[in-house]
Structure 1
């Protein structure tokens, strides 16, 4: 069968099938005329990937389930390697639930004490003291003072003029983005190492690493200037990190971001463009913070290093306003 028939039988789009093929999850047979041909085994594999996605497991983590099917098992989760993926995903959800529980407790505490006060009277001192002493989750949307300023090490000097590679990556919204197919207009893709969440500790010594701290503040700045960026001619805004789409989805929802995050767990874009990375306790590799302005699939401008991150979207906006697209610009 051809790709359209496979997509119909498995209940997915042709675009999704191509993405799974790019990830190496399915490999079609080449017919004598060069067309790709798929079998019932491919249908079974794509259904497995689709069902895993429905319960929050990214296609990037589906390989153990497909290998289990290839070994002759009736179900893809009858192997130890598949169960390990379940355990990791449950652990990620537990972290999210814990963080949300901390936020809910803080809000409930404030609600109860606020509801008990009369707004027409000055609150009594004990009530004020009690509210002030209530535990609150760490605020990762504000930058601490004294952060080290990153230096330009030249690690991004080669990027201007390069074309985005033909990569398809998952997003926080459960969709996929074709980087080489963003269109003729301008896109802004800002890369960041990782976002913190209330109730979840940042890596040890995080604030001492130049350029590491500030991912949530950077996201908020892009959120607050999103409309102005669009007015300046930007068609797409994306954040990109090596965190999972599920982790990113929590951040998008919590910070109320009007744009999606792109997940690159395998550092595919980093390998294609030779992007700068760094290590931190508990993380062998993280993306260094930088921003790409892409026009017609080609990197037009690079911001690197970035400091402070909490006003970076305004820096991007100023550059866009100083370099408006004209009819002579590449589209």
Structure 2
């Protein structure tokens, strides 16, 4: 952060257009010098003391880094650099914090330890109650959040996050290929205690009803009274392009349209009958064929008679 050659908190350019975070931001020639000057200025303060207002450190930066960009920002020299330092915890109460001290000395290990001390570790367990809720105090771990998001609905986030189990959330997990035994085992692994009985009943009841009705894609349906004939159609090699699938001894479905399936069956010597959407036989009307009328010769056409070409008129 101290050696970043731009101002990451800058949100707009000179034309007041929004800038993407860390991408496309114009380089800042004096940013690095200004940050190091700020660290040097704050390090000169007496131990245990700090300035009354952090912005008072701005005028001292130019003393330590004369080549830094000292143009006033928000009315105060180096106001943006000071504000970024406070935002990241480098400055606290007008003086260098522990993070700032490690940053100035380049102690990467000490900086890592201090940041981990300030940031609480992620929570890997949840309190699952009989009201079908899971409560996580603090920041949930990635594994915990992913598991609860897959089987429950997140209601609140913050100091404590709450998820609620429901038939719809359990069904969503089953639709994604999870099995009830795995769901129960995964929840038991992250629960702070035994799983409540209502949750176990919810998982078992939802799994029992899941998949009792199945839907299959089909463009048309073939049915008849002879199971042997339907089995013959399903096994016919030349009809394989139709994508026939047998659902019952007397029911087939086809991935091809009704007209395409009808034409293919007739081409193979079968005599199927199409039906309407209401289940009645569709009557196919055949238009009568008419004899083609002779086309009369146009006026002024030329006819060849006895080797000569003559013009004919009416």
TM-score by length of 1: 0.18
TM-score, structure 2 as length reference:
0.19
Larger Rg: 2
The answer to which structure, 1 or 2, has the higher relative contact order (CA under 8 A, 6+ apart) is 1
